[in-house]
Amino acid sequence: MKTFLMCEPRYFEVSYVINPWMTGNQGLVNMELAAKQWKNFHDILSSKASIRLIEPVAGLPDMVFTANGGLVCRDHEVIVSSFRYPERQAESPYFSKFFEDSGYRIRRLNSDIKFEGAGDALYDSNGQVWVGYGHRSDVEALDEIAAILHTRVNGLTLVDPRWYHLDTAFCPLANGYVIAYEKAFSSQSVNKIKNEFSDKIIWVSDQDANNFACNAVNIGNDVILNKASDELKVALSKHKFSVIEVDVSEFIKAGGACKCLTLEL
Ligand code: ARG
């Protein structure tokens, strides 16, 4: 059974702008609705996986996006994130403490390299690692991650500030499939994705990308996401995946959806 780390949205709000989705949304989160949406997502996820919780911290509204806490490696090791923006940097000690208390060996990248954890680093079903860089994580992170994981790392260049984390535009699924949004990537990176996943790529439309359809949690055949078009549901069902829609609109105001609200342990 998969295990995910989540963080209750007790202090969630949009109080600063560090990605384009947050623009114009300062002070506009409906806290009650956010709490309801999070709980609904938590309950659905906990019927399919086991959930651990990290205590939220006042003044760190984006801590709900646990995907950015770090990248969990094999053997109870974790690369703790070094956040790009000061607004989120204070989260790292809390995530480190959680991992330490849970018996993980903490790894860090060289001090000036930025890396935002599982928001920018995703394993595919063959165990290969895909790292997105260009906005939050530095290209220099790739070699260091490869050295820690003892494996090759595939880099993908993110070219559009709306798709600032890899998990906003790319979601490896079971059995070698992947959901992806072409416009988020440089043409070289699009070719890399095509070469690797060929006929197992499910490209999404602008509309699905804007609804954070790539920001999905895959458990077995289930693909849990904010919202998918009928077209995307059909494409996924052709490959035996079924979509579970979970409305997380309040979190999209901060630029994150289902996958960002989880960190696979
Ligand atoms: N407001 C947060 C930020 O800009 C959202 C993070 C979303 N997380 C993710 N893994 N895509 O950092």
This prediction has a pTM of: 0.98
Maximum alpha-carbon separation in the chain: 46
pLDDT at 111: 82
- Output the CA 255–ligand 1 centroid distance in Å: 6
Using the atom order of ligand 1, give the atom closest to the CA of residue 165.
11
* Rounded CA separation 23/30 (Å): 16
pLDDT at 258: 98
- Give the number of other CB atoms < 10 A from CB of residue 224: 23
Q: Whose CA is nearest to atom 1 of ligand 1?
A: 254
* Ligand 1 mutation target, pool 14, 68, 217, most atoms within 8 A of CB: 68
β-pairing, 50-53 vs 3-6, is parallel
Using the atom order of ligand 1, give the atom closest to the CA of residue 67.
10
Using the atom order of ligand 1, give the atom closest to the CA of residue 254.
1
Mean pLDDT, contiguous 10-residue spans, the chain (265 residues): 98 98 98 98 98 98 98 94 98 98 97 96 97 98 96 97 98 98 98 98 98 98 98 98 98 98 98
The whole domain housing 160 covers 3-264
Q: Whose CA is nearest to atom 6 of ligand 1?
A: 256
Q: Where residue 97 sits, what CATH number does that domain have?
A: 3.75.10.10
Those residues with Cβ within 8 angstroms of residue 135's Cβ, 6 or more apart along the chain or in another chain: 84, 158, 161, 164, 165
Structural domain total, the chain: 1
pLDDT at 74: 82
Task: Tell me the CA distances in angstroms from 16 to 3, 19, 20, 21, one per residue in order.
Answer: 30, 9, 11, 11
- Output the CA 252–ligand 1 centroid distance in Å: 9
Using the atom order of ligand 1, give the atom closest to the CA of residue 136.
12
- Output the CA 177–ligand 1 centroid distance in Å: 24
Does residue 19 line the site of ligand 1, with CB under 6 A? yes
- Catalytic residue annotation: 165, 260
